[in-house]
Amino acid sequence: GGGLMVGGVHARGARKDGFRQGIGISGFQFGDRAVIEEANAKWAGAMVAADVPTIVANYADDGVMMQPGMPAVSGRAAVEEAIKGMLASMKVDSASFTTNDVKVGGDMAIETGSFRMTMTPKGGKPTNDVGKYVTVWQKQADGSWKVIRDISNSDVAAPTK
């Protein structure tokens, strides 16, 4: 799973159909991470392409995104506005997400992972970021999985004044 850790709206958007088809309440094979890893690759591609609809597609209507340097945003519409704002101020040059662990209980799946990203602020120099995230997915009535909580933070020390 990948969040917008300043670039890390991670693992989120592109998880589209691959994630939906690959996870069944009793059929998900967590030993085989191919479904999540494929979803993360699609999501990372959406970040680089600034494809906002794909990025936000897997947030639940009441999903919450908690990224560094900004207040938490609640609801898919607010997540979309936050992502648009971030992408208006920078270009994501590259992004990758690595799923480290997935735990399932009932209709919830908790994913932990790490990210790498290169971003270029408008008029600035490219910066590299690495960090980690936790994403909580919930199975929906239609059988799809949607992000209900998404938090990430950087391993890079904040610049000192």
Over residues 116-132, the pLDDT tens digits come to: 999 999 999 999 999 99
Please list, in sequence order, all residues whose beta carbon lies within 8 angstroms of the beta carbon of residue 111, skipping any fewer than 6 positions away: 1, 11, 36, 99, 101, 102, 133, 134, 135, 136, 137
| pLDDT at res. 22 | 37
| pLDDT at res. 41 | 78
N- to C-terminal Cα distance for the chain?
33
Nearest to 46 by CA among 33, 56, 60: 56
Q: Work out the burial of residue 26: count CB atoms within 10 Å of its CB; fewer than 13 is exposed, 13-18 middle, 19 or more buried.
A: exposed
Contact in structure between 126 and 6 (CB atoms under 8 Å): no
Q: How far apart are CA 145 and CA 129, in angstroms?
A: 28
Tell me, what amino acid is at 76?
R
Nearest to 111 by CA among 20, 57, 30, 13: 30
Checking DSSP bridges between strand 59-66 and strand 145-154, what pairing results, if any?
Answer: parallel
Tens-place pLDDT, residues 15-62: 333 333 334 333 444 443 565 666 677 778 999 999 999 888 878 999
Q: Record the pTM.
A: 0.75
| Mean pLDDT, the chain, whole residue set | 78
Q: Which of 12-16, 79-83, 87-91, 131-135 has the lowest mean pLDDT?
A: 12-16
Checking DSSP bridges between strand 59-66 and strand 73-74, what pairing results, if any?
Answer: antiparallel
| pLDDT at res. 36 | 61
Residue 83, SS3? helix
pLDDT exceeding 90 applies to what percent of the chain?
46
Compute φ and ψ for 6, nearest 5 degrees.
60, -25
| pLDDT at res. 58 | 79
| pLDDT at res. 110 | 87
More confident residue, 116 or 137: 116
